[in-house]
Structure 1
Amino acid sequence: MSDSETNTTHTGTGAGKAPAPAPTVWPVLQAHDAHALIDFLVEKIGFLRTAVYEDGGQVAHCQLDWPEGGGIMLGSYKPDTEWSRPPGTFGAYVVTNDVDGLYERVKAAGVTFTRELSDQDYGNREFTISDPEGNLWSFGYYPGEPKP
């Protein structure tokens, strides 16, 4: 996908906009089996494996980028650290210009859906899955409201 397509919506009204800025908000989560979660998010969902740093066989830091912009960071669960949050308690909404295509790919990959693809009253089209750790991931084409 080219930079000029990054900000387009499902209707194509964003064509010609400037490329999206680099992400400055990075959701962070931990996993009991970070390696398996990374593989799931890359192989079944389509995130890009940008960086994975290990320490003693555990994932110390991982950056996964969403091809259409943004990304997440994750690591192995370390209950006695400042950033520790119980695995399986994370939720994210991810914007995609091709929600129907992504839905079909994810469904073909055998992923567990918590909500099937549907049109919402507020104008979005979205679906929600759970990952092997129990985190929720919602995918839709609603990009958020414009900045004031």
Structure 2
Amino acid sequence: MTEKNEGALRFGRIAATLPVKDIERAADFYVGLLGFRKVFENGSPVGFIILERDDAELHLTLQKNHKATDFNVAHMMVENIDRLHDLVQQRGLKVVKRLQDKDYGLRAFVFEDPDGNRIDVGQPI
């Protein structure tokens, strides 16, 4: 039995959606500290925001009862991971896994954003 190929499967953009208790505080963090820019917001009061920087896209959704999980909710690939690590530490954010070179070819660390969302950051070695 053979399957009919009616065209190749292709994906477009995909972005992590982070739940946040205070959407303005979260936007200030990702825009002010990490350099994202706000490209869309929805609701009155605002309950959803799309942020972009370079090739990255991140969605924030207001969830007033949000409780952070104990696992990573997003993975970011960056250039100059040491600079990002310094910014995270200067801001006083919790570093869950220290910055280190991994045997799978990434320099990586994990931090928590102001809402406790764990973000795994990597850069190819």
Q: Which runs of 5+ in 2 are unaligned?
A: 1-11
1:10-25 → structure 2 map (5 Å cutoff) = 24-25=13-14
TM-score (norm 1): 0.64
- After superposition, the C-alpha distances for 1:30-80 in whole angstroms (9 at most, x for unaligned) are 211111111122223x141223525332x232111133x12111121278x
Query: Alignment identity in percent?
Result: 25
Aligned counterparts, 1:61-100, within 5 A: 61-67=48-54, 69-77=55-63, 86-89=66-69, 91-100=73-82
1:38 maps to which of 4, 18, 27: 27
Distance 1:27 1:87 in 2: 17
Is residue 80 of structure 2 the alignment partner of residue 106 of structure 1?
no
Structure 2 residue 97 is matched with structure 1 residue 115: yes
Report the counterpart of residue 14 of structure 1 in structure 2.
none
The answer to whether the 8 A contact 1:31-1:88 is kept is: no
2:118 equivalent to 1:130: no
Q: Secondary structure at the match of 1:141?
A: strand
> Does the CA contact (< 8 Å) of 2:108 and 2:121 recur in 1?
yes
Listed as ranges, the gaps of 5+ residues in structure 1 are 1-22, 80-85, 143-148
**For 2:15, which of 9, 13, 26 is the aligned residue?**
26
2:39 is aligned to 51
Equivalent residue pairs, number = 112
Corresponding letter in the other structure for 1:133:
D
> Which TM-score applies when normalising by structure 2?
0.75
Write the letter of the residue equivalent to 1:28.
T
Q: For residues 24 and 55 of structure 1, what CA distance do their matches in structure 2 show?
A: 23
